[in-house]
Amino acid sequence: MNRITLISAPIITEQTDAGTIERLLRKDPVFSVPQLGILTVAALFKKHGWTVKLSRIDKHYASHIANGKSAADFCNDFAAILANDESKYFGFSSICSSYYITLMVAERLKELRPDAIIVFGGPQASATGTETMSLSPAIDFVLCGEIELSLKDFLDCHLSAPDRVPGLCYRRNGVIISNSPSHPPDAGVLEMPLYDLWDTSALDSIPIEGGRGCPFKCKFCSTSAFFRRSYRVKDPQTLIANAIDVIGRFLVKTISFVHDNMFVSKETCEQFCDTWRTNEKLRGVQWSCSMRVDVIDERIASILSRSNCGGIFIGIESGSERIQKIINKNLDVEKAISTIHLLNKNNIRSTAAFIVGFPEETVDDLRATLRTFERVLRVPLCKPQVSSFAILAGSEYGNNAFEFDVGSSTISHQGPPIAPAYTKYIDAYPTLFSAHCRPILEHLDHDVVSETEYFLNYSFSIYRWLVALLSISFEHGLSAVIERWLKFKREEKGETSNLYGYYSSSQFHRQFIEFVSSLSTLPQFNTKFSSMQQFLCNVYSIEDKNFQEMLTMENEEVSPTPLRHDGHIVAACRVVDVEYSFSDVIGILTAEGQGDFKPKDDSCVVIYIKSRDIIVEEPTPLVRQILSLASAPIQVDELVGMLCSDANKSLPQNLSHKAAAAYFYSLQHCLACGLLKRTDGKGRDVFSKKPNKLIQRTA
């Protein structure tokens, strides 16, 4: 029987710390989510009668680093593992950020197994097929684009008549030939991924392919070229059937539909939402997707909410109308901001993506993007994120001139500096690894762009509402803040070559709070916000010992098993008495500074860490009571009994018997949110009834 070993695209290989790698693979959905492309390819091979094995490269890399080995040695070691596989065919998936890893593994594999037939596919290989094969004789074939309609031809005649295989790059007498691609497959024939090849046991959400392609022509994007600008979405009945299948098999309550632009018409969106909402099997199941803001109005936002839509990803890219036109995005920025407010009003989370450092971008364009960023930052359910521009193979920008600078974009790299053994490889072939190169900027300084990106992402993820306050404390908002931050950082730290290392360190945390505390002395600072600034600085000032303690708890394995009545739980966060209501603070900041900031008796916040972000929230009275009772390890039934005892004093007799079930559900919710954790009954007391010494009452 024919066999093939498929190798997933590397994602975690940009990290070099064993603890970070283990945490990301276990807890971060970006790194742990199933790769639909390679799993769909696996399903197609299986459909044609092949035996398929998946080698998840990130798992091997994690083991490699955990055993104390060097990242620079990984390609050789992993290739040796593959060489011992009984398969003759090896299929490599590819993405821009780690293409150098994929190529080096394949080349070493060919040295160890000259008989192996190595096939490349995926976005990066498809966009660079001819150049890839010119660079590397180890690559036998590149099967470009979507392969639903070309795989059978490949399996039948890739050796005897490769010219008959649509989308195939191959060699004939030393000459590389690239065949025309096949027609894009209809959305109705797309195979479900072979999820069983991926460990999904720890996942809260499962991705489902919603369709393919995008009808728009954004200049920076390579996706539309890969899918040949053929926009397809599965019909609502198929999407619903896929979702029911997945939640039945994997027992998840969240589905993420993978599609660059799920709905291009309001009618299609409404039809899907109505179908989802009325299906009893999907009751309580949330879903998310990506959309353009053009489709969302007040009525659609309400329809999305009623269908239990939990999140929308929105690519704003730039706050500058001029850049919007240059990159062919053509979004109405004000419409985008109002749409995010609409989603927030309907209790739908949103992610707003921005890009800084476009080749044509000016200082005024960058300031416009920062103004837009700060406006959506103040929308509670919106999470803005920033990436620096990267030259993607297959995009319109891919043909532009650029200067080489490895790791200059977080689209291509988000970890420590790439090992020298790899940078030499990238440096030798910059057009093949263009995502690791930065463009020529005529109007902006590269270092300022990079610092802006890192500062916004790290300060926002940790100190969200403090950054929101700063954005309204200066006349020129975040532009003024970043300018002062760069001056402060240079004076305190000097020049920083490894931005990732600095911004992910405790040194940044300490210096950021010090920096913010110093701003109130400046004449440009709006003194109206001095008390709020001091309050938020105190709230976010966590001593290293406490930070590490919470980090340890956040890193602990979370059991997927249901909460047991005879089990034990304990608070997994800090509860701190404070002088002001944190909810009032958020309300004032959301209203752009409008409102009275006054002390409020009996206020408190809970502070915990989630994915290394510091989360500060004002608990409800019930959550506060639960955390107080769980300040030391306590049995679940005992805690429920204590809650019921208090509730029965005020509840009507005909409702008191339902209290236990309601409180048990509340404990499950607190556990899922990370406010509680399971314990064996002998765990440490991690709850502080005393105020943080940095947050003392003054009233």
Supply 416's token pair.
């420590």
The yes-or-no verdict on residue 470 having pLDDT over 90 is: yes
List all residues 6 or more positions away from 548 whose beta carbon is below 8 Å from its beta carbon. none
At 196 the pLDDT is 94
Quote the CA–CA distance of 106 and 112 in Å, as a whole number: 10
At 699 the pLDDT is 26
The phi and psi torsions of 4 (rounded to 5 degrees) equal -140, 140
Residues 523 and 579 in one domain: no
Residues 520 and 551 in one domain: no
In a domain, 411, yes or no: no
In a domain, 432, yes or no: no
pLDDT greater at residue 277 or residue 497: 277
State how far the alpha carbon of 227 is from the alpha carbons of 67, 145, 192, 269, in Å.
Answer: 40, 7, 18, 22
At 696 the pLDDT is 30
Selection from 643, 671, 640 nearest residue 570 by Cα: 671
In a domain, 500, yes or no: yes
- Whether residue 53 contacts residue 4, with contact meaning beta carbons closer than 8 Å, is answered with yes
63-119 pLDDT, tens digit each: 999 999 998 899 999 999 999 999 999 999 999 999 999 999 999 999 999 999 999
pLDDT greater at residue 304 or residue 571: 304
In a domain, 690, yes or no: no
User: Which DSSP string do the residues of 625-680 spell out, in sequence order?
Assistant: HHHHHTSS-EEHHHHHHHHHHHHTTTS-HHHHTTHHHHHHHHHHHHHHHTSEEEE-
Residues 64 and 147 in one domain: yes
The yes-or-no verdict on residue 456 having pLDDT over 90 is: yes
The yes-or-no verdict on residue 695 having pLDDT over 60 is: no
Rg for the chain, CA atoms, rounded: 27
Selection from 135, 116, 129, 216 nearest residue 168 by Cα: 129
312-338 pLDDT, tens digit each: 999 999 999 999 999 999 999 999 999
Quote the CA–CA distance of 349 and 328 in Å, as a whole number: 26
Tokens 């959301």 belong to residue: 590
The yes-or-no verdict on residue 688 having pLDDT over 50 is: no
pLDDT greater at residue 367 or residue 642: 367
At 501 the pLDDT is 86
At 77 the pLDDT is 97
Residues 521 and 553 in one domain: no
The yes-or-no verdict on residue 29 having pLDDT over 80 is: no
Torsion of CA 143, 7, 54, 202, to 10 degrees: -120
In a domain, 440, yes or no: no
Q: Name the packing angle between helices 446-473 and 530-540 (round to 10°).
A: 120
At 357 the pLDDT is 94
Instruction: Provide the pLDDT confidence category of residue 697 given band limits of 50, 70 and 90.
Output: very low
At 138 the pLDDT is 97
Residues 491 and 638 in one domain: no
Which range (122-131, 164-173, 671-680) has the least confidence? 671-680
The yes-or-no verdict on residue 157 having pLDDT over 80 is: yes
At 517 the pLDDT is 92
At 428 the pLDDT is 83
331-363 pLDDT, tens digit each: 999 999 999 999 999 999 999 999 999 999 999
CATH of residue 251: 3.20.20.70
Q: Rounded to an integer, what is the distance from CA 8 to the centroid of its chain?
A: 18
- Structural domain ending residue among the three candidates 163, 178, 193: 178
Residues 150 and 167 in one domain: yes
At 639 the pLDDT is 92
CATH of residue 657: 3.90.930.50
Residues 607 and 477 in one domain: no
Quote the CA–CA distance of 433 and 406 in Å, as a whole number: 9
Residue numbers of the domain that contains 67: 3-178
At 650 the pLDDT is 64
At 687 the pLDDT is 38
For residue 341, the one-letter residue type is H
Quote the CA–CA distance of 154 and 363 in Å, as a whole number: 51
pTM: 0.90
Residues 347 and 487 in one domain: no
Residues 577 and 612 in one domain: yes
In a domain, 427, yes or no: no
Q: What's the structural domain count of the chain?
A: 4
| Secondary structure class of 490 (helix, strand, coil) | helix
At 552 the pLDDT is 62
User: Which DSSP string do the residues of 166-199 spell out, in sequence order?
Assistant: TTEEEEETTEEEEPPPPPPPPGGGPPPP-GGGS-
At 692 the pLDDT is 35
Residues 120 and 218 in one domain: no
Question: Is residue 482 exposed (0-12), middle (13-18) or buried (19+ Cβ within 10 Å)?
Answer: buried
Residues 516 and 573 in one domain: no
pLDDT greater at residue 427 or residue 208: 208
Quote the CA–CA distance of 647 and 663 in Å, as a whole number: 10
- Structural domain ending residue among the three candidates 489, 506, 541: 541
238-274 pLDDT, tens digit each: 999 999 999 999 988 899 999 999 998 999 999 999 9
**Long-range pairs for 415-421 at CB < 8 Å and ≥24 separation?**
415/14, 415/15, 415/16, 415/500, 416/14, 416/15, 416/16, 416/17, 416/498, 416/500, 416/501, 417/497, 417/498, 417/500, 418/14, 419/70, 419/71, 419/72, 420/72, 421/72
369-385 pLDDT, tens digit each: 999 999 999 999 999 99
The yes-or-no verdict on residue 168 having pLDDT over 80 is: yes
Residues 491 and 573 in one domain: no
At 691 the pLDDT is 34
- Whether residue 409 contacts residue 438, with contact meaning beta carbons closer than 8 Å, is answered with yes
Which range (15-19, 74-78, 465-469, 569-573) has the least confidence? 15-19
The yes-or-no verdict on residue 599 having pLDDT over 50 is: yes
| Secondary structure class of 54 (helix, strand, coil) | strand
CATH of residue 34: 3.40.50.2300
The yes-or-no verdict on residue 123 having pLDDT over 60 is: yes
The yes-or-no verdict on residue 1 having pLDDT over 80 is: no
| pLDDT average, residue stretch 604-612 | 81
Region of 228 on the Ramachandran plot (φ > 0 left; ψ -120 to 50 alpha; else beta): left
- Structural domain ending residue among the three candidates 541, 560, 577: 541
At 498 the pLDDT is 83
550-597 pLDDT, tens digit each: 666 655 555 555 688 888 999 988 888 999 999 999 999 999 889 989
The overall average pLDDT reported for the chain is 88
State how far the alpha carbon of 640 is from the alpha carbons of 569, 643, 660, 685, in Å.
Answer: 11, 5, 6, 19
Question: Is residue 649 exposed (0-12), middle (13-18) or buried (19+ Cβ within 10 Å)?
Answer: exposed
In a domain, 195, yes or no: no
At 137 the pLDDT is 95
Q: Of 214-218, 223-227, 378-382, where does the model show the most confidence?
A: 378-382
The yes-or-no verdict on residue 4 having pLDDT over 60 is: yes
Residues pairing with 286 in the sheet? 254
